[in-house]
Structure 1
Amino acid sequence: MKRTILTLGFMLLSLVCVLAQNNQFPSQIWHKGNIYLNDGSTVSGLIKYDLDNNLVQLQTETVDTFTASNVSNFEIYDEIFGGVRKFYSLPYAINGQYETPTFFEVLTEGNDIALLCREYIATDTRGMNNSWGAYGMNPFWGPQTYSGYRLAFNYYFFKNGRLERYSLKRKDLFAMLPGYDDEINLYMKKNRLEHDKRGDLLRITAYYNDLQN
């Protein structure tokens, strides 16, 4: 598991270097990848995703657009290390009304629980002016800005057959990962992990799944 997390870290680090060169957020870039359709077929090419509208586009000789209703899942490949990011279409009521097919990125999963997220571009109001290329930090692991905007995430835990949105409150993290409060608390202190950062949440959830095995 540690090797998997380390590999993921290098993969995401490589991706941010590519993004910094292009001065674009991940959803604004064409990635090599595959789209798996509900009818069992697979299409491959350059892929661009739009989580706000639950759309994924495929560029080959033309550009085709698919909705989350047509897609089972899709995957995109990191350009340098060949690492994979996976997105699944799952029923969810984003606005608290009716459940509709919605794209979620899977960060880590085990037999009992999975951590998913949905990224979005938000207006930055924190006055962060330091930069690394186009970003303040790796956009997948910490704060980041570009031209007054930042990459932000909503997090979800998939457990007991349903999705639950995580509030980013520390007490709710222990509620989402029950039964090992002392072990998780010690693990977070030992590794200086926060309850509301993408990379830290990935490590905490992977550790929880290890405890369950």
Structure 2
Amino acid sequence: MRKFKLTSTGFFFLAVILLTKPVLAQKNWPSEVWHEGKLVLLEGDTLRGMLKYDLQQDLVQYVIKDNKPEVFTARKVLFFEIFDESVHKYRQFFALPFNTVGGYKTPIFFELLEEGKITLLTREYLEYKTISSPYYFGSYTTLVLSHKYYFLKENGSIEEFVGNKNNLLNMMGSRDEEVEKYIKANRLRYDDKYDMAKIVAYYNSLTGS
């Protein structure tokens, strides 16, 4: 068997690759870049151009060509749509009334993932997570994009989903076993928002909605 000897130079480059890997993973997040899209205001006007959103403050910026960006709060927006080149998908966000910590309702932005008998919404946020890796002799902490899921009910109320896999399947009543088989067959993950959308979409298809 051929043996490889790691020289001091090789060790240096290996160390550089390993130590910089978490940094390289932290590219521009979708909320940090401009996207081509359209913005529909509550008054009915439709604006087309480049959009940049901020879900932490529930703001969306709009600019066309070299003009100065205009900033709109969720109170002034009906919805906006962007084409996210990082995932090659169109994404739609709606300003919907939601109960705040203070107990009153105010419009905030939700991304629509799936609409039907179960309507799935989400809000993304950044958080630091500790990730296990064989490259780092244990684990390392890095900034990741996470999601909170919400369900829009028929009465218009919005509830955050804070359960687990079993809680989700329980919502699907007699279709739970079919959905569970679909999840396993397609190796879907609950921590991936597009996988979550597929799960809900499959359930909706079973119910004809």
Distance 1:82 1:193 in 2: 20
Q: Which runs of 5+ in 1 are unaligned?
A: 1-19, 131-144
Q: Could you tell me which residue of structure 2 aligns to residue 45 of structure 1? A: 49
Of structures 1 and 2, the one with the larger relative CO (CA 8 A, separation 6+) is 1
Point out the more displaced range, 77-86 or 186-195.
77-86
Q: Could you tell me which residue of structure 1 aligns to residue 33 of structure 2? A: 29
Q: Which of 122, 128, 133 is the equivalent residue of 1:123?
A: 128
User: Relative to structure 1, is the Cα distance of residues 22 and 149 closer, same or farther in structure 2, using a 3 angstrom cutoff?
Assistant: closer
TM-score (norm 2): 0.76
Q: SS state of the match for residue 124, structure 1?
A: strand
Q: Could you tell me which residue of structure 1 aligns to residue 151 of structure 2? A: 157
The code of the aligned residue for 2:130 comes to T
Distance 2:81 2:134 in 1: 33
Superposed displacement of residue 128, structure 1: 5.6
List per-residue Cα deviations over 1:124-151 (Å, max 9, x = no partner): 3335697xxxxxxxxxxxxxx9x93110
- Alpha-carbon contact 2:79-2:95 (below 8 Å) kept: yes
List per-residue Cα deviations over 1:161-197 (Å, max 9, x = no partner): 3222111411221233333112112222222223343
- The answer to whether the aligner puts 1:102 opposite 2:108 as a matched pair is yes
**Bigger CA radius of gyration:** 2
Distance 1:74 1:28 in 2: 16
User: Relative to structure 1, is the Cα distance of residues 80 and 51 closer, same or farther in structure 2, using a 3 angstrom cutoff?
Assistant: closer
The code of the aligned residue for 1:108 comes to E
Point out the more displaced range, 67-76 or 21-30.
21-30
1:1-213 correspondence runs (5 A): 23-60=27-64, 61-79=67-85, 83-95=89-101, 97-110=103-116, 112-126=117-131, 148-160=142-154, 161-213=156-208
Q: SS state of the match for residue 57, structure 2?
A: coil
Superposed displacement of residue 29, structure 1: 0.3
List per-residue Cα deviations over 1:46-105 (Å, max 9, x = no partner): 110000110000122111100000000000013489631100000112436211101000
User: Relative to structure 1, is the Cα distance of residues 82 and 120 closer, same or farther in structure 2, using a 3 angstrom cutoff?
Assistant: closer
Distance 2:203 2:194 in 1: 14
Q: Could you tell me which residue of structure 1 aligns to residue 3 of structure 2? A: none
Q: SS state of the match for residue 40, structure 1?
A: coil
Aligned pairs, how many? 178
TM-score (norm 1): 0.74
Q: Which runs of 5+ in 2 are unaligned?
A: 1-23
* Larger strand proportion of the pair: 2
Distance 1:96 1:176 in 2: 28
Q: Could you tell me which residue of structure 2 aligns to residue 137 of structure 1? A: none
CA RMSD of aligned residues (A): 2.6
Distance 1:168 1:197 in 2: 15
- Alpha-carbon contact 1:77-1:84 (below 8 Å) kept: yes
